[in-house]
Amino acid sequence: MEAMRRAEKVLRETNEERVRLAREAYDTGLTMNAIAEALGVSHVAVSNWIRAAKQDASSHER
């Protein structure tokens, strides 16, 4: 059971890192397709991450 919890934590941290990298890459001008290819995910996943980041940023501005 403990091994499962550790594995879930590693996977969650890995995904959070990929999201962070995708957001940074997008901010520097890379296309969503290029980011998706580099991270080994779909362009839809990258699009969802970027959209969520924009919504999060706009909610913090209020």
pLDDT digits (tens, 9 = 90+) for 10-60: 888 888 999 999 999 999 999 999 999 999 999 999 999 999 988 988 887
Q: What is the pLDDT of residue 43?
A: 97
Distance CA 51, CA 31 (A): 14
DSSP 41: S
Q: Is 41 left (phi over 0), alpha (psi -120 to 50) or beta?
A: beta
- Assign 53 to helix, strand or coil: helix
Classify domain 2-61 at the CATH topology level: Arc Repressor Mutant, subunit A (1.10.10)
Residues 6+ apart with CB under 8 A from 13: none
pLDDT confidence tier of residue 1, bands split at 50, 70 and 90: confident
Q: What is the pLDDT of residue 62?
A: 60
**Do the Cβ atoms of 39 and 18 come closer than 8 Å?**
yes
